[in-house]
Structure 1
Amino acid sequence: MTIPMDWPSLVGFAGTACIIAAYAYLTLAKQTNPYVLHSTNLLGAALLTVSLIYHTNWASLVLEFFWAAIALTGLVRAWLTRGKDAT
């Protein structure tokens, strides 16, 4: 089975790199910035979704929907609680 290395596949690899980078950041950083963490995850999910639209895998597409929803929830929570930790 040969899988073409077309532009949707390259976009998907970039998305995978974003999600791996976000997980590494979460694991290795002494203190994380929620905007960096969740934005990177959201970008990764978006890029993988683009790839999955062209090379459909429904299970992975559903996973990316929830990954993006969780990242958006994290961004909204970070924005709503901004500045409250400083007091």
Structure 2
Amino acid sequence: MSVTLQERSKYIKDILNGTFTSLKTVVPINHNVSKPKLLENHLAIPFGVLIRITGDIKGKLILAGNSTMFASIGETMFGMTLKGEQ
């Protein structure tokens, strides 16, 4: 089955909106979302979460940040300070 460009754009928009909604639900802190961008080169980040997307639309969604941000998210979600590698 071939997916048209218009269908593909709608799927990507739905995936991004669903991800943002999930983040607001799971991580109850104020956060800013930057504009999504398509990466053509290798990505080098010290901390991040990789979500692989399969099916008609294939891709990778990467949530990147620094250790302080991820520690703050963990503290908010679990109610206790998380330190070091877990």
The answer to which structure, 1 or 2, has the higher relative contact order (CA under 8 A, 6+ apart) is: 1
Is the pair's TM-score, using the shorter chain for normalization, greater than 0.5?
Answer: no
TM-score normalised according to structure 1 size: 0.29
Tell me which protein shows more helix as a share of its residues. 1
TM-score for both structures, normalised by structure 2: 0.30
Greater strand share, structure number:
2
